[in-house]
A and B are shown apart, each in its own frame.
Chain A
Amino acid sequence: MSKTIAQIRPAETGKAVVEVEGLSRTFDVSRPWLNRVLERDTRHFLRAVQDVSFEIARGETFALVGESGSGKSTVAKMVVGLLPPSRGAIRIDGLDMQSAQQAHAMRSLRRRIQMIFQDPFASLNPRWRVGRIIAEPIRAFSLEPDGKALERRVGELLSLVGLDPRDAKKYPHEFSGGQRQRICIARALASKPEFLVCDEPTSALDVSVQAQILNLMRDLQDEFALTYLFISHDLAVVRHMATRIGVMYLGRLVEVADAEALFRTPRHPYTRMLLDAVPDLAMTGTSRKQVEGEIPNPISPPPGCAFHPRCPLANDRCRSEQPQALAAGDAVVRCHAVEEGRG
C-alpha cells in the first residue's frame, strides 16, 4: 500500500499548524428507548465524518468543499473544539486537543483558534453594542491592561476590517449583512489568533459584498500570516481562496490536492462531476454534461464506495470494498477506478 493522506506533507514544507488524523464523528439518531423496545427498532447511527485526515501548513488556506450533508461543517466544529470527535486526533502545533490534563495549555490554544460563522445575522448578540461584542475575546483572555487600551484596540480592529471606530457604539441591527460579517471578522481577530476556521463565511452575502469580504480575508491573511480552514460549497469561491482543497462526500475526504491541480486535473469521479455541474459565466451557450442522482441518505449509506450509485466508472469492487486514500500524481484520492487506472 502506498502513502496515506496523513503521511503526505503539504506542498509548502512549512510546519503543519493543524494536523487532523483519522477523525470520525458519529451521531446517535435512534428513536427513544421505549419506542425501540415497543416497535422492535434497532439503534441508528449517522456517521457524519469518517476517517478524515489532513494537515494545514502555516499561512496556508485549506478548503473543504462538498454538498450539504457531506460533513464539512462537522469537521470545522471538531477542529475548533465545539464538538468532541468520536475517534481520531486533532493536533494544533503538536498539542492534542483531546487530552484533558492540559487544561491550561488548552486555554492558550483557544486564544489562537477563532471561528467565523455562516450567518452574520445569527452570530452577533443583538442586545450588545458592537464594541462589547468585539471586546469580549480580549476580556476573556485578559489581553489588554485597562479600559482605555481596550477601547483603543476595539477601534483599531474596526478600522482594520474597514469600519469606523465610532461604529463601536452601535448595535448589530444597524449594519448590513456584509458589515456584520466584518464585525464577526473583527471579533475573530480580537484575540490575535493564528488559525481561523471559516464556515461558509460568504454564502449569506450578495456577490458584490462577497467580493469585498473575500478580498478583506486575503489582505488580513497577508498582514497577520493567518492560517485558514475555509469551508464552502461554492467551488468558484474556493478556487479563489484556497491553496489546497479537500473534497468531501458523505463524510469522507475523497480527494485532496493543490488548488491549481484539482481544477486542472480533477481525479476523483465526484470531483469531476462537481466541476461539470457548476454553472459558470464562461459557459454561455454551451451545454453541460448531465449529472445523475443525489446524495444518498447518510444514515444508510451504500456499501463499498459511497459514491458508486452515481459513478459512471463503478464496478463490482466499488460496490463492495471501501477504497483507501492513495496518492495519485500530486493528489490523494479514494477511488478504485483511479487506483486501477480505469479513470
Chain B
Amino acid sequence: MSVPLLSVRDLHVEFPTRRGRLKAIDGVSFDLAPGEVLGMVGESGAGKSLTGAAVIGLLEPPGRIADGEIWLKGERIDNVSRKAMRQIRGRRIGMVFQDPLTSLNPLFTVGDQIVETIMTHLPVSAREARDRAVSLLEAVGIPAASKRLTAYPHQFSGGMRQRVVIALALCAEPELVIADEPTTALDVSVQAQIIDVLKELCSARGASVILITHDMGVIAETADRVAVMYSGRIAEIGPVAQVVKAPHHPYTVGLMGSIPSLTGSVDRLVQIPGSMPRLDAIPPGCAFNPRCPHAFERCRVERPEPMEMEGSRVACWLHEAGDEAQTVAEQGLAGRAGGER
C-alpha cells in the first residue's frame, strides 16, 4: 500500500471531570487509503463521532487528545497550532454534519456561504468563486442552481439543505471528507439520494470519506472498509463484505444479528443482553466481556489488542484460541441465515 492519506495512531481522547479522567477514546488506530470510504459504526457513546471530531480538530473542550498521533499525507496534524489547523480544516478536510439546519447560517444566503468558503481557501476571484458555487450546486443535484444561490437555508427542504452542506464540504476540493451521520435526520427515500451524491462526488474528486453512522445498511452499501467501535475502541475493522457477512468479534456478530432484515424475517432477533458500559464504569479486560456469550477468564483481566485475522483486525481473545472464534462467527450467522427463506 502507498502512503495512507490518513493515519491515526493509538489515539486517546479524554474528558477530565471531578471524578477523574473519562477515557472516551482509548487507543484507536486505523489507516485510510486515498479514495477509500471507511465506515464507522457503533452504538451511541461508542466514540465514533469523537474520532471524527479529533481528526478534524473540533473536539469540544474540556475534551482533548491525551495521546496518539494523527497524520495526514505524512504530515502530523494533531499538534499543529489552531491557526494552521484552520488552514487544513475546510481546505484539506471537509465535514458534513448530521443536522443540515444547524450547520448552515440562517442569516446568509446559500450562495454567500459557499462563495465565502471558496474564497477563504482558494486563490480565486469573486466571479470565479460564484461560478464554482453554481457548478457545485448543480453537481449535488440542486435544480436551477444559479437562481437558488440567493435563497436562504430555510427555503430549502431537508434533503436539499443536506446537499448544500455537501457542496460546502467539497468546495475547496478536500482530500478527506468526514460525514457524521449525514442522513440520520432525513427520510429513507431522500437518504438514498444523499448517500449516492456523497459517494459519487467523492469518488469523482478522489476524496477519501470517513462515514460515521449507526445504520449498518448504509455502510454495507457505501463503504469499502468498516470499523466497528465499542466503548472507545475498535472491536473489528476490515473489508465491508467480510465484516457484514462473516464477522469475527462476538459484538459484531450480535450487532449484525440484531438488525431486522428486509429480505428474510427471523422469528427472534439476536439479542445482546445489557447495554454498553458508561465511560466511568468500563470493566477491566475486554470492555465487552460482561455482555459476551463466549467470555472466559482471560477476557475479564487482560485487554485484547487488535489481531490480524483474514484481512480484518479483530480485538478479541477468542482469536488467539483460533478455531473457537470461527465457531462463534458461524453460529451467529447460522442463527441469521436459518430465518431466511
Contacts and interface: CB of A to CB of B under 8 A. Distances in A.
A240 B265 CA distance: 6
Contacts of A68: 187
Residue from B216, B260, B273 with most neighbouring chain A CB atoms (10 Å): B260
B42 to A, nearest CB: 9
Interface in B186-209: 187-193, 195-196
A214 B269 CA distance: 8
Nearest to B160: A294
A285 B220 CA distance: 8
B254 A208 contact: yes
A288 B217 CA distance: 12
B40 to A, nearest CB: 14
A124 B71 CA distance: 46
B263 A282 contact: yes
A283 B245 CA distance: 11
B43 A208 contact: yes
Nearest to B257: A211
B245 A284 contact: yes
A280 interface: yes
Contacts of A291: 189-190, 192-193
A26 to B, nearest CB: 23
A109 interface: no
Interface stretch (A32-40, A51-59, A189-197, A231-239): A231-239
Contacts of A288: 192, 196, 221
A273 B189 contact: yes
B268 A218 contact: yes
Contacts of A279: 191-192, 195, 215, 217-218, 220-222
Contacts of A233: 187-188
B261 A274 contact: no
A150 interface: no
A280 B220 contact: yes
B332 to A, nearest CB: 13
B187 A208 contact: no
A207 B195 CA distance: 20
A176 interface: yes
Contacts of A208: 43, 254-255, 258, 271-272, 275
A211 B270 contact: yes
B144 interface: no
A281 interface: yes
A131 interface: no
A206 interface: yes
A295 interface: yes
Given A240-B265, A240-B269, A211 B188 contact: no
Nearest to A218: B268
Contacts of A212: 271-273
B287 interface: no
A176 B274 CA distance: 10
Nearest to B190: A294
Contacts of A281: 216-217, 220, 244, 256, 259, 261
A283 B269 contact: no
A209 interface: yes
A278 interface: yes
A11 interface: no
A210 B196 contact: no
Nearest to A284: B220
A215 B192 contact: no
B157 A294 contact: yes
Contacts of A215: 268-269, 271
Nearest to B217: A279
Nearest to A178: B275
Given A67-B189, A280-B263, A207 B275 contact: no
A290 interface: yes
A236 B260 CA distance: 5
A263 interface: yes
Contacts of B258: 207-208, 210-211
B240 interface: yes
A284 B189 contact: no
Interface in B226-275: 240-241, 244-245, 254-263, 265-266, 268-273, 275
Contact of A235 (B214, B221, B259, B262): B262
Interface string A169-182: 00000001011000
Interface of B: 43-44, 157-160, 187-193, 195-196, 214-218, 220-222, 240-241, 244-245, 254-263, 265-266, 268-273, 275-276
26 contacts: A67-B187, A68-B187, A178-B275, A207-B259, A208-B254, A208-B272, A210-B258, A211-B258, A211-B272, A234-B260, A236-B217, A236-B259, A240-B266, A278-B262, A279-B191, A279-B215, A279-B220, A280-B221, A281-B220, A281-B259, A282-B261, A283-B217, A284-B220, A288-B221, A290-B193, A294-B160
Per CB-CB distance, the 3 closest pairs between chain A and chain B, nearest first, are A279-B217, A211-B258, A67-B187
Given A277-B191, A284-B220, 5 more contacts: A210-B258, A263-B262, A279-B215, A285-B221, A294-B159
